[in-house]
Amino acid sequence: MTIKDVERAERTVWAETDGDVTTILLDRPAKLNALTPEMLDGLEAALRTAAASDARVVVLRGAGPKAFCVGADINRFSSLTPVAMWREWTARGHRVFDLLASLRQPTVAVVHGVAAGGGLELALACDFRIVTADARLSLPEVFLGTVPGWGGTERLTELVGRARTKQIVLAREQLDGPTASAWGLATACLAPDAAEAAVADLVDRLCAGSPIAVQLAKQLIDAAADGAPSRVLETIAGGLTAATEDLAEGVRAFHERRAPHFHGR
């Protein structure tokens, strides 16, 4: 196992790789993992490292028992000029969160405690969200006199629909874990002592598939959600998988009645 302190994050973002899994940790628990510009830069560096690696799954966590992430550090953005807010804050967050959303590897957010504002938006940029039953999820920005700024209105609407997004954003509805699961925001909701087993099971299932096929399938699903025609992209992607060693291994394993051993080639 290797642990690397991500550059420019001042030890508040860590990336850890163990086998096929890269874990990224927001490590500012005294401030409930509130995001600073330096943390966004550190997160971006960690994501770019993961994108260039052979990792099959990326897991995102928040340090400390109280919060996954409470969002943007108010003290850092409240004094910005309008131009600085646009150039240095909102645009930077969109760039980093879009990078997370577009990673070729599946991504899993492990959400406990508070996930508010940009913290919830960060989880929304992941493919899967394992949420503890005692989690509290919200987008409370209008109570500060602003609006969600890092993709929350778009990604939340995709998951729960327009009416429920308005309930969360305009009426500041705070969701607990079971409600988040019932509304389709959470992939799974579990008691805190059961969440880690669920994360491990999900990661194992994601790693068991051919990494090429899993990553292509993720891109196909995202493209279809954006309106791209599956009849074109699935044909191209299927042709690509036909040339891989993974497909040959999958067919052999099927005939030999055993689990396949994929190598991403």
The greatest distance separating any two alpha carbons of the chain, rounded to the nearest whole angstrom, comes to 65
Pairing of strands 114-116, 128-132: unpaired
- Amino acid letter, 62: G
Look at residue 131 and give its three-state secondary structure: strand
Please report where in the chains the tokens 């099959």 appear, as a residue. Answer: 56
> Is 158 known to be catalytic?
no
> Is 38 known to be catalytic?
no
Number of H helices, E strands in the chain: 12, 11
- Answer whether 62's CB lies under 8 Å from 69's CB: yes
> Which of these is catalytic: 141, 234, 245, 256?
141
> Which of these is catalytic: 121, 154, 158, 173?
121
- Amino acid letter, 121: E
Q: Tell me the C-alpha distance between 247 and 250, whole Å.
A: 5
Please report where in the chains the tokens 């995202």 appear, as a residue. Answer: 222
- Answer whether 121's CB lies under 8 Å from 142's CB: no
Enzyme catalytic residues: 121, 141
